Amino acid sequence: MRRALTPGTFDPITAGHLDVITRAAQIMDEVVVAVAASAKKRPLFTLEERVALAREATAHLPNVRVEPFDCLLIDFARQLDARVVVKGLRAITDFEYEFQQTALNYQLDSDLETIFIMSPPEYMYLSSSVVREIASFHGDLTQFVPDCVRQALEEKFGD
């Protein structure tokens, strides 16, 4: 079975994340959306909330599951017997960071392969931080996040 991890903080999961996850699910037998605890980033949503939102947002994808993790990605991949990491790339700045992460992961585990999926133009600018900022000003998030995330953000920001 070809199992891949799609890791991230997902604070919150966006339409861009869903695009990458959906496309990965088309080429892999199973995709595990690996939600990182990322306590140092001080996320808006708790780990449990991020996992629940990601599960709701991906419920329509039968070969996708969502799991939290709080360890090195390579260790989590080993735990799940995943040999592939799928990452989305939006811009050159993403590439530089992801290239460094991939090189580091390769040094730690040369059996873990990374595949990059390029974002389509409509998601090139989209990030969780942009979504949080729009939400903080009560902007329209309809095109940027699934409905469950929009509702959760409205609750967080008191809309």
On whether the CB atoms of residues 53 and 17 are closer than 8 A, the answer is: no
- What pLDDT, on the 0 to 100 scale, is given for residue 27? 96
Question: Is position 138 annotated as part of the catalytic site?
Answer: no
Selecting among 2, 41, 60, 138, the annotated active-site residue is: 41
Strand order in the sheet with 84-89: 64-69, 30-36, 3-8, 84-89, 113-118
Q: Where is 145: in which H helix or E strand?
A: none
Place of tokens 């861009």: 16
Selecting among 50, 87, 128, 132, the annotated active-site residue is: 128
Q: What is the pTM of this model?
A: 0.94
Asked, for residue 143, whether it belongs to a domain, the answer is no
Beta-carbon count within 10 A of 155 CB: 9
Asked, for residue 138, whether it belongs to a domain, the answer is no
Asked, for residue 37, whether it belongs to a domain, the answer is yes
Question: Is position 136 annotated as part of the catalytic site?
Answer: no
- What pLDDT, on the 0 to 100 scale, is given for residue 25? 98
Question: Is position 90 annotated as part of the catalytic site?
Answer: yes
- What pLDDT, on the 0 to 100 scale, is given for residue 91? 79
Q: Between 147-156 and 47-57, two packed helices, what is the crossing angle to 10 degrees?
A: 150
Asked, for residue 133, whether it belongs to a domain, the answer is no
- How many structural domains is the chain composed of? 1
Selecting among 50, 87, 90, 132, the annotated active-site residue is: 90
Count how many residues are written for the chain. Answer: 159
Asked, for residue 136, whether it belongs to a domain, the answer is no
Q: Is 140 helix (H, G, I), strand (E, B) or coil?
A: coil
- What pLDDT, on the 0 to 100 scale, is given for residue 158? 85
- What pLDDT, on the 0 to 100 scale, is given for residue 78? 96
Question: Is position 60 annotated as part of the catalytic site?
Answer: no
Q: What CATH number is given to the structural domain containing 23?
A: 3.40.50.620
Strands (E), the chain: 3-8, 30-36, 64-69, 84-89, 113-118
CB half-sphere exposure, 107, CA atoms < 13 A? 6
pLDDT tens digit at each of 159 positions of the chain? 899 999 999 999 999 999 999 999 999 999 999 999 987 889 999 999 999 999 999 999 999 999 999 999 999 999 999 999 999 998 777 888 899 999 999 999 999 999 999 999 999 999 999 999 999 999 999 999 999 999 999 999 985
- What pLDDT, on the 0 to 100 scale, is given for residue 96? 87
Asked, for residue 130, whether it belongs to a domain, the answer is no
Structure tokens at 91: 């811009």
Q: Which domain holds residue 89?
A: 3-124
**Cα distance between residue 54 and residue 58, in whole Å:** 6
Asked, for residue 159, whether it belongs to a domain, the answer is no
